[in-house]
Amino acid sequence: MNIIETDERTIAVENASYRWGFLYLSFGLLAIVAYRGLLRDEAAWDLMLLIVTAGGICTLLQSRQKVLSRGWAIKSVTATVVAILLAIVAVLTLR
């Protein structure tokens, strides 16, 4: 008897669950970083490195498999520039 254990639906559900898990983990770590920095006055670069590295790994894999859209580069550069500007403003105002 030939039983199919996985199909397209199973793979789609698994991928969606991984996405939700990754988002939960990423935003949870960001909340912990903010808590440590703002309320406990601690540096949390180790946790930020985890977040950035995880995103970099996902982007690298998608880039090698050529699944990134054409507008991806523009959106990525725009988000990076906005993040840098917000970081500069935060550093200047919290001095």
The residue ranges of every structural domain in the chain are: 1-64, 70-95
Instruction: Answer whether residue 91 shows pLDDT above 90.
Output: no
Distance, CA of 91 to CA of 87 (rounded, Å): 6
pTM of the model: 0.63
pLDDT band at 84 (very low <50, low <70, confident <90, very high): very high
Whether the per-residue pLDDT at 2 is higher than 70: the answer is no
68: left (phi over 0), alpha (psi -120 to 50) or beta: beta
Q: For position 11, what pLDDT does the model report? A: 85
Give the pLDDT of residue 32.
92
C-alpha span between 91 and 41 (Å, rounded): 14
pLDDT at 10 over 90: no
| pLDDT computed for residue 24 by the predictor | 93
